[in-house]
Amino acid sequence: MVSLCARAGLPPHLAPRAAELQRMLAAKGGVGLSSMAQASVCLHLAAVAAGAAADTKAMARLAGLKNKAMFDSSLSTAEAALGLATSLSVQEVAVRVGQGHLAGPAAAVLAAFTQHLQDTLVPAAFAHLRLQRPIYPCAALAAAARQLGDKPDLGRLAELSRAKKKELVELVEEMARVAPDIKKSKTEATVGKDHQELMGRIMGTEEVKARAGARERMKEEDWEEDGFEEWRQAILGRAVAAGMDQYKEFLAA
């Protein structure tokens, strides 16, 4: 197994776990795979579990299988036989491709796409979808990256998705059509935060205190000329116009 690790370009510390998985798979009949195919599949499973990047095409060649699709099918069969079939989360995908900042936006895209499918498909069809397949979080991350101006690593995502790159790209296009406007949401959140910070300054923090202190030092007859109230009312008016209705009561009638 150590020599297979070297040929696959994977670290040798994966060999013990891969060998253990192969023994378990062989005990279950080998799911119709040759010894070399079993070893390659189990090494790939060990690599995925350890977070190591494995070249699926190279692994398929080492397994003696005709193409990547056959290797993916064998991988899924072996996973099920070994009880290792688990879903891949958006967060895991983001970390594995080195784009952890996209986890949140990708989760929003996946949630919107799932809701779209639920709304458009009959219940029986929706129930039969395998949304736990790794292609879905991978496509969601690619769609989020594209919307935010990042460049997704489609090769690596296709590898993680265990699907053909063409299939992944088609799913990315589908998700992009129903995805929420992440850029707009992000901008609105930033603007909303800026409004809140500004109003905090106006409604009793240092900026107002400084101006109020200056007013106290002025003669009473000069108060109307310092422009403070006009300035305050103008800011409050803009805040209310922006939808911050909690400040209506402070506006002059």
Q: Give the model confidence (pLDDT) of 104-124 as tens digits.
A: 999 999 999 999 998 998 888
CATH of the domain at 6: 1.10.472
CATH of the domain at 99: 1.10.472.10
Lowest mean pLDDT among 18-27, 107-116, 205-214, 242-251: 205-214
Distances (CA, A) of 92 to 45, 46, 66, 76, 79: 16, 16, 30, 19, 18
Domain end point (choices 61, 82, 103): 82
Judge if 56 and 114 occupy the same domain.
Answer: no
Give residue 205's pLDDT band: very low, low, confident or very high (50, 70, 90).
Answer: very low
Average pLDDT estimate for 53-81: 83
The pLDDT, as a whole number, for residue 56 is 79
SS3 70: helix
Residue by residue, DSSP assigns 104-158 as HHHHHHHHHHHHHHHHHS-HHHHHT--TTSTHHHHHHHHHHHHHTT----HHHHH
Domain extent, residue 157, equals: 90-180
Q: In what helix (H) or strand (E) does residue 51 lie, and over which residues does it extend?
A: none
Distances (CA, A) of 46 to 7, 83, 158, 180: 15, 13, 19, 36
- 243 pLDDT exceeds 70? no
- 244 pLDDT exceeds 80? no
pLDDT tens digits for range 2-59: 889 999 888 899 999 999 999 999 998 988 899 999 999 999 889 877 867 777 788 8
Question: And the tokens for 225?
Answer: 């000329």
Judge if 144 and 206 occupy the same domain.
Answer: no
d(CA 1, CA 15): 5
Higher pLDDT, 222 or 136: 136
- 102 pLDDT exceeds 80? yes
d(CA 190, CA 59): 46
- 231 pLDDT exceeds 70? no
Average pLDDT estimate for 60-81: 84
